[in-house]
Amino acid sequence: MRIFAILAIVGAVVFSSTDTFAQGSLTPAAQAPVVLKPKLKLAYIKGAANFMGGIEIRGNEVDAYLDVRKVLSDAIDDATKAKKTDDDVITVEMRADQIQNLAVLMQRGTLKGSEADAFKDIMTALNESVKAAQASGK
């Protein structure tokens, strides 16, 4: 039941409006982590990591930012070692709080029009990983 509640919160945050994200409250790590597995093109993972480098964060968000950045960097490093190309789809294992924090951080940035499709695909992949976990009862 607790896991379902966590997933419901993550789902609500990911589907929320930008006003909620603008408040800037990042989630600390949960005690019993729920691992989700969004599937993204390697190019999108690289893009998200680069995009996050250009956003402003508050001092109390440093740990959450570094945590999400490390997950993305590790996924990029693993894919590079496996000789994956930018068009290959990679499964990234992330805790529910990391997905929520990534969504919050992504919403905070400013996009160029050419980045809109990639941004939407990233957010869709995050949403789908939450839905998949809810459907499997995790």
**Between 71 and 4, the higher pLDDT residue:** 71
User: Does residue 6 have a pLDDT over 50?
Assistant: no
The pLDDT tens digits for 47-101 are 999 999 999 999 999 999 999 999 999 999 999 999 999 999 999 999 999 999 9
* Separation of alpha carbons 105 and 14, rounded Å: 11
User: Does residue 5 have a pLDDT over 60?
Assistant: no
Say what the pLDDT of residue 79 is.
96
Strand (E) or helix (H) holding 91: strand 89-91
The alpha carbon of 78 is separated from its chain's Cα centroid by a whole number of angstroms, namely: 17
User: Does residue 9 have a pLDDT over 90?
Assistant: no
Tell me which residue has tokens 């005690």: 31
The pLDDT tens digits for 49-64 are 999 999 999 999 999 9
pTM of the model: 0.74
CB 51 within 8 A of CB 106: yes
* Exposed / middle / buried, residue 55 (Cβ in 10 Å: 0-12, 13-18, 19+): middle
CB 34 within 8 A of CB 3: yes
